[in-house]
């Protein structure tokens, strides 16, 4: 592991992508740099002592800030995005100075971190990872995934506010922020499991436009690059 600057231990999974994208965004906007290494979950490196010392929860991604003495580890993606925001985004390019906009940003960040991501992960597990697909569990989690997509659709369409939005948080049309970075890698991968059809997604037109809008960002493309992935199946 590198001992200088900010180091990211990651894996090109949706959770890994959140932090990869944030680091790439910061690199585009500031005099900021980072190093990274991939962790191979297929060999359970995330459960080894050296890693558990950084993250007792044994999951990637993790940031190690070697500019602090002793080096400061950060785990849980929402906490990592907020750490990067506080330490490296002095102009709040990806956050908000206004107290209420900041609160709105946290609401959407936590909404996805606590609800959407784990549920979409369970849907994929029960629907694709087992030798025998668990139909009941798959349907239960899929229904909940689609419900959370509809929550995003409600926000972006302005159904109850009369204000269409380009991004999840912020006044007016909203502003691209860590709230979007937290949700986008999962939601944009809606098709990866093969469990959700395009016809089902057509019920969420504002969400689909939001996916495309964010995909156009150079830092999002860099943060989603294949270089952050191992070849072969990952858990």
Residues 6+ apart with CB under 8 A from 26: 32, 34, 84, 88, 89, 94
Q: How far apart are the first and last CA of the chain?
A: 22
Number of chain positions touching ligand GSH (CB under 6 A) = 11
Q: Using the minimum distance from each CB to ligand GSH, give the nearer residue, 58 or 189.
A: 58
Three-class DSSP category at 9: strand
Stretch that binds ligand GSH, among 56-64, 103-111, 129-137, 153-161 (CB under 6 A): 56-64
188 near ligand GSH (CB under 6 A): no
The owner of tokens 């990274």 is 36
Tokens of 203: 């019920």
From residue 55, alpha-carbon distances to 41, 46, 86, 193 in Å are 14, 9, 20, 28
d(CA 172, CA 166): 9
Question: What is the footprint of ligand GSH within residues 14-43 (CB under 6 A)?
Answer: 15, 41
Of residues 221 and 235, the one with the C-beta less far from ligand GSH: 235
Q: With binding defined as CB under 6 A, does residue 13 bind ligand GSH?
A: yes
Instruction: Find out whether 21 and 223 touch, Cβ atoms under 8 Å.
Output: yes
Query: Which residue of 60, 74, 84, 109 would you call a contact of ligand GSH, by CB under 6 A?
Result: 60
The binder of ligand GSH chosen from 10, 20, 77, 188 (CB under 6 A): 77
Q: Which of 7, 59, 88, 175 binds ligand GSH (CB under 6 A)?
A: 59
Q: Which residues bind ligand GSH (CB under 6 A)?
A: 11, 13, 15, 41, 46, 58-60, 76-77, 235
């Amino acid at each position: 592991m590198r001992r200088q600057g900010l180091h990211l231990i990651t894996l090109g999974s949706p959770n890994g992508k959140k932090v990869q994208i944030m680091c790439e965004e910061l690199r585009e906007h500031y005099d900021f740099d980072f190093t990274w290494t991939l962790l191979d979950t297929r060999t359970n490196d995330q459960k080894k002592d050296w890693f558990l010392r950084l993250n007792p929860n044994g999951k990637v991604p993790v940031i190690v800030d070697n500019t602090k003495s002793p080096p400061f580890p950060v785990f849980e993606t929402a906490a990592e995005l907020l750490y990067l925001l506080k330490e490296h985004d002095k102009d709040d390019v990806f956050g908000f100075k206004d107290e209420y906009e900041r609160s709105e940003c946290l609401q959407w960040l936590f909404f996805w971190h606590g609800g959407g991501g784990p549920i979409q992960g369970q849907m994929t597990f029960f629907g694709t990872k087992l030798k025998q697909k668990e139909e009941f569990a798959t349907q239960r989690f899929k229904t909940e995934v689609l419900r959370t997509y509809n929550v995003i659709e409600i926000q972006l369409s302005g159904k109850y506010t009369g204000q269409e939005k380009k991004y999840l948080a912020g006044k007016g049309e909203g502003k691209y922020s860590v709230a979007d970075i937290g949700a986008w890698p999962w939601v944009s991968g809606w098709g990866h499991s093969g469990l959700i059809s395009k016809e089902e997604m057509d019920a969420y037109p504002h969400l689909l436009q939001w996916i495309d809008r964010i995909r156009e960002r150079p830092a999002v493309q860099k943060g989603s690059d294949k270089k952050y992935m191992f070849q072969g199946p990952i858990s």
